Amino acid sequence: MSDDTKVAKRRVFYIPGYDPIHPRRYRELYRREGAEQARLEGYTLALRPKTGGGAYGWHVEAQIEGARTEADIDVLVWSDIVRGSMGQSILATYGQLVRTAWVYIVSGALFRLMRLRKGPMIAALYPVGMLLGQLALALLAGRLVGALAAWGGAAAGLPALLATALGWALAAATLAFVLIRFRRADPRFYAYYLMHDFAYSARWQGASPPELEARMAEFAATIAEALTQDWDEVLIVGHSSGAHLAISILADLIRDGRVPATGPVLSLLTLGQVVPMVSFLPKAQRLRRDLRDLSQRDELTWIDVTAPGDGCAFALCDPVSVTGVAPPGKRWPLVLTAAFTRTLSPARWKALRWRFFRLHFQYLCAFDALPGKADDYDYFRITAGPRSLAARLGGRSPAKSRIETPVNRYTDCG
């Protein structure tokens, strides 16, 4: 692999988290936020449609730090798998709630995860509390309507049995009506969405489902092909749940010898990762092995960026160390902070502070208060600028407040 730090042509593969939305949202986010960051920082960034087949993506031409660069950015799509896992009835979702809570409580993962960061655990408990609250309100409404219907039937002279049956029927109808209304309003509450997210990993107790393993193999083949082409850097970006997919994919590529020694620079950027939510589960041996193996390889540079202001991520938690699989020769990841309170203006931070889901995507957006140094975290310089990830961020010191203490009960790697 080349050790050049200058990049004129870059291939970027973005792996989203548990997201059922069409990947065009990421193109539009990149276009809008990239234009804003370019305006703030004084560089140029232009998007045009991607040519050729393959994954969904776009082409970027930029002039940053006095250099012209080009980048092809592809989204490695697994939203169809996500949508398939979300196609659950209301009753089935409550069944998921029970099974997911059981897995995390009985395995002890819930209590160990609480020792890392409270934010993501609040996010994990939020759908449980919200769904139980919705059920309680629906039951209360059903009981009130049923009681009134039974009383009204009796007052109208209906036989007691018929009045009672009427009450139960209207109670059941009210219960269903209220739950359906809550389900349709979920784009505002995210309770069902987050429940499906946590249930997806819990169902397999940390193992990768067969359909996801097959998709990751396809992603690996796509990346392997890019590593044989004329790029200066191949950059893999894993966001949220996509971070642990990226880790496993690159670990497979390296173990299989599919990373050419003289090929493009290989870089991994994990953003807003939630790796412990999976790696702490009993059957996550595959992910734990991948974390251990990737952390000591010199074929790549691995930078992990989170921020304490992101309540949905395990901020500044070294995913290898806290999982308890750090080998003696551990090199990666380099844990850095996006420091929202420093990189966002006070007005912008105030506007976003309580928008937890939006903050989880801030890594992919413009920062309006960057100190202006070339080695600050800037998603658009990283994906379209003239320096490799290692050259841009690799020389920084790790975050002082990073968490490296192993707290995982399950450390076997299969």
| pLDDT (mean) for 283-306 | 97
Nearest-angstrom CA–CA distance, 124 and 121: 5
pLDDT in tens, 69-113: 999 999 999 999 999 988 779 999 999 999 999 999 999 999 999
Q: Which of 313, 343, 360 is the last residue of a domain?
A: 360
pLDDT in tens, 220-252: 999 999 999 999 999 999 999 999 999 999 999
What predicted TM-score, i.e. pTM, was given to this entire model? 0.93
Query: Does residue 167 share a domain with residue 90?
Result: yes
Query: Does residue 189 share a domain with residue 88?
Result: yes
Asked if 262 and 301 touch (Cβ cutoff 8 Å), the reply is no
For residue 401, being part of any structural domain is answered with: no
Query: Does residue 157 share a domain with residue 267?
Result: no
Query: Does residue 103 share a domain with residue 179?
Result: yes
Query: Does residue 265 share a domain with residue 191?
Result: no
Query: Does residue 185 share a domain with residue 108?
Result: yes
Q: Residue 387: CA atoms inside 13 Å, Cβ hemisphere, count? A: 17
For residue 335, being part of any structural domain is answered with: yes
| pLDDT (mean) for 395-407 | 95
Of 52-56, 57-61, 136-140, 294-298, give the lowest mean pLDDT range: 52-56
CA angle at 381 for the pair 380 and 384, rounded to the nearest 5°: 75
For residue 269, being part of any structural domain is answered with: yes
How many domains in the chain?
Answer: 2
Domain that holds residue 181: 82-200
For residue 227, being part of any structural domain is answered with: no
Of 110, 64, 72, 372, the closest CA to residue 235 belongs to 72
For residue 104, being part of any structural domain is answered with: yes
For residue 231, being part of any structural domain is answered with: no
Query: Does residue 278 share a domain with residue 193?
Result: no
Helices (H), ranges, 6-89: 24-41, 79-86
Query: Does residue 286 share a domain with residue 188?
Result: no
Exposed/middle/buried for residue 354 (C-beta within 10 Å: 0-12, 13-18, 19+)? exposed
pLDDT in tens, 355-370: 988 999 999 999 998 7
Q: Which of 200, 217, 235 is the last residue of a domain?
A: 200
